[in-house]
Amino acid sequence: MLKINDLVIMILDTLRDTFVEGEELLGKLGNSSLPCMITKVLACKGGSSYEVRWLSESKDSISRSFLDKKNLIRRKIPFSRDLLKLFIKESTFQNNPWVVQNNLAKEYGLSTKPPCELEDKITKHLVRGNMEKKYGL
């Protein structure tokens, strides 16, 4: 099972390499870096490509084009490692395995039932924990 620091690092690494619709960043156009907004994420075999809307200083749309990840520059990741860690702690009540708070699971339509491949591990973990408590192991 993942410790919180490992989970945070995994999420941050994924987010650094992923762009989402509506995100404002810089796009390379020739030798310049200009402000743009992602309007559509297009999945393809080699990764993702992005439809972007080029923005003027007043954030008006100038034109549209398609860019790949190497031509996009995020100015700054939208949150810190510590903020993500706090969010995870506040959104979960168990970390072995990670279990989302019931009210959040209900609000976002998430299943609270663990995947089949984890059910056996959870049962063994609970039995072992009970045995340790009962016999002082």
Domain annotation for the chain: domains and CATH numbers? 20-73 (2.30.30)
Nearest alpha carbon to residue 53 among 41, 65, 69, 67: 65
Instruction: Share the mean pLDDT of the chain.
Output: 81
pLDDT the model gives residue 134: 61
Compute the average pLDDT of residues 19-34.
Answer: 88
Compute the average pLDDT of residues 41-50.
Answer: 80
pLDDT the model gives residue 37: 92
pLDDT of 129 higher than 70: no
Distance between CA atoms of residues 109 and 123, nearest Å: 25
pLDDT of 22 higher than 80: yes
Compute the average pLDDT of residues 97-123.
Answer: 79
pLDDT of 95 higher than 80: no
Percent of the chain topping pLDDT 90 = 13
Distance between CA atoms of residues 105 and 117, nearest Å: 20
What angle in degrees, to the nearest 10, is found between the helix axes of 81-91 and 4-16? 120
* pTM, entire model: 0.56
pLDDT the model gives residue 30: 86
State the pairing for strand pair 32-44/24-29: antiparallel
